[in-house]
Amino acid sequence: MSRNIRVEESKATPVSERRIELVERKGIGHPDTLCDGIAESVMRALSQEYLDRFGGILHHNTDESQLVAGRSDPQFGGGNVVQPIYILIVGRATKEFEGESIPADSIAVETAREYIRDSLENINTESEVIVDCRMGEGSTDLKDVFEPESGSAPNANDTSFGIGYAPFSPTEQVVHETERAIYNDLRHDLPAVGEDVKVMGKREDDTLDLTVAVATVAQHVDDLDAYISVMDDVEEYVRGVADDHFEGEVNVAVNAADDRDAGSVYLTETGTSAEMGDDGSVGRGNRANGLITPAREMSLEAASGKNPFNHIGKLYNLLASELSNNVYQEVDGVEEASVKLLSQIGSPIDEPQVAAINVQTEDGVSVEEVEYDVESVVDDGLENVTSITQRIINGELGTF
């Protein structure tokens, strides 16, 4: 194999066997995740515009977008948003190509508004959100890199790396699935539950402590008793999710900062803390696998908003996660796998400087016995790396 694939045994103690493990997930309505989602949706819209008009993806990146929090006066039964949330779309885009103008800014603004409407049910995007766009144009040499080419894989736009691992530990599964279940299911049964949910998991030995922050929607909470009832329902629901993935003791704290005696609780008008003081930025939240995991090797790249054509900060982080899962699922004898991919600027993205794979194997299975199969899985993934681009544009692969 010619793709610089290296397989070695992992010497690290598996995360699930360590005494302490910390895992975090910022939910869809969290200001940082909102920025990730806006940047990614604008990237997809611009990519599709370029493909439809020119048959290829032109230079663009929207991974510097920001959110400035608004100001609100939430009250039981409903209050007011006093100052709207301000969203600034920042980055670079191709706005003219082959003599044709491209309305990149207009596409970005409308796409951002649509994303907010789809993600937050209780917000008025006309009066409670300001969307501003300040995308510049890329330099000529960068534009040349992105011009559509046929045949071989494109060249890497940067010297950078991506990291992935599999499988999730039980703690990671609980944290990830807790937020996903609240967003996708519980909030539809409990309209008082907003989209801004943050889950922090701390496992110590066999005990898992979950701290869950849930933005409640004021118009659906008549008084403090109703609020407490909602929190009790959330706690019970979270315990049920945790029991599906974790066998030890589980402790759940919901909205731990509340002072119920003083009547100070986590109320919002819109279901997100972005309305009342919490700013946001692309890349400050979840990694490409949807979690923040200080016990794991991980990249600090802001994957959301980067172009899906040859931006290593996006492609290699997504690919590394996928390859890790493929190795874990397809190679008998592998209990855990991590993948690190390093590019070199100007070199084809299917030929990394190194693809380093660390594996934990079952008792009685040596790394030498699985090495060829691991290399084959990774080689196949690199050979088909360009397929990731369309899957990103289609929304099949997420970055947060």
- For 226-249, the pLDDT digits (tens) are 999 999 999 999 999 999 999 999
Res 152: pLDDT:
79
Tell me the pLDDT of the chain averaged across its residues.
Answer: 95
- Would you place residue 277 in the very low, low, confident or very high pLDDT band (cuts 50, 70, 90)? confident
pLDDT tier for residue 2 given thresholds of 50, 70 and 90 = confident
Place of tokens 């931006």: 311
Q: What is the pLDDT of residue 144?
A: 52
pLDDT band of residue 151 (cuts 50, 70, 90) is low
Q: Which CATH class is domain 31-146?
A: alpha beta
CB 29: neighbour CB atoms within 10 A?
30
State in words which class domain 170-281 has: alpha beta
3-state secondary structure the chain: CCCCEEEEECCCCCHHHCCEEEEEEECCCCHHHHHHHHHHHHHHHHHHHHHHHHCCCCCEECCCCEEECCEEECCCCCCEEEECEEEEEEEEECCEECCEECCHHHHHHHHHHHHHHHHCCCCCCCCCEEEEEEEECCCHHHHHHHCCCCCCCCECCCCCEEEEEECCCHHHHHHHHHHHHHHHHHHHHCCCEEEEEEEEEEEECCEEEEEEEEEEEHHHCCCHHHHHHHHHHHHHHHHHHHHCCCCCEEEEEECCCCEHHHCECCEECCCCHHHCCCCEECCCCCCCCCCECCCCCCCCCCCCCCCCCCCHHHHHHHHHHHHHHHHHHHCCCEEEEEEEEECCCCCECCCCCEEEEEEEECCCCCHHHHHHHHHHHHHHHHHCCCHHHHHHHCCCCCCC
- Residue 1 pLDDT > 80: no
Determine the average pLDDT of the residues in 334-354: 96
Instruction: Say yes or no to pLDDT of 269 above 60.
Output: yes
**Identical fold, 5-13+158-168+285-393 and 170-281:** yes
- Note the pLDDT of residue 89: 97
Q: What is the pLDDT of residue 143?
A: 55
What is the CATH number assigned to the segment(s) 5-13+158-168+285-393?
3.30.300.280
The pLDDT of residue 150 is: 54
d(CA 301, CA 390) in angstroms, rounded, equals 21
Residue 257 has pLDDT above 50, yes or no: yes
The pLDDT of residue 145 is above 50:
no
Give me the percent of the chain exceeding a pLDDT of 90.
94
CA dist 33 and 97 (Å) reads 32
Residues 6+ apart with CB under 8 A from 138: 59, 60, 92, 93, 94, 146
168 confidence band (pLDDT: 50, 70, 90): very high
Report pLDDT for 349.
Answer: 95
Report the pLDDT value the prediction gives residue 141, as an integer from 0 to 100. Answer: 53
Q: What is the pLDDT of residue 230?
A: 98
Q: What are residue 21's phi and psi, to 5 degrees?
A: -140, 135
Extents of the domains making up the chain:
5-13+158-168+285-393, 31-146, 170-281
